[in-house]
Amino acid sequence: MRKNVALACIAILGCGCTVGPNYKKPAANVPGTYRGLAEEEAGKTEPGSLGDQKWWEVFQDEQLRSLIRTALQQNYDVRIAGARILQAQAQLGITRADQFRASVQGRE
């Protein structure tokens, strides 16, 4: 009984994968340029990607730039985080220095 069920399942799955002897691949209409630009316009665009540009330069808004400058100058949380990073790096240097053998002058 189990063999019959297994054979039936294999037959059903095998039939689902077949396409037929007369299958022909359909033709796909693919544009020659990306996002529908004509060939003349495609040559004039910048080679850089939108994802490679800085996001605040993409919008070209002077008010946005001034707000970003103000936020960077007056954001004390970023300064505190930077100070903590420097503190952690110094502590790591001290910890790593303890791993080396210390030599003391005049000691035998």
- Going by C-alpha positions, the residue among 44, 22, 18, 24 that lies closest to residue 33 is 44
Distance, CA of 17 to CA of 10 (rounded, Å): 11
Q: In this model, does residue 4 exceed pLDDT 80?
A: yes
The pLDDT score that the predictor gives to residue 74 is 84
Are residues 33 and 39 in contact, defined by beta-carbon separation less than 8 angstroms?
Answer: yes
* Tens-digit pLDDT profile for residues 24-77: 888 988 766 666 566 666 566 565 677 777 877 778 889 988 998 888 888 888
Buried b or exposed e, range 7-16, using 16+ CB within 10 angstroms: eeeeeeeeee
Q: Is the pTM of this model over 0.85?
A: no
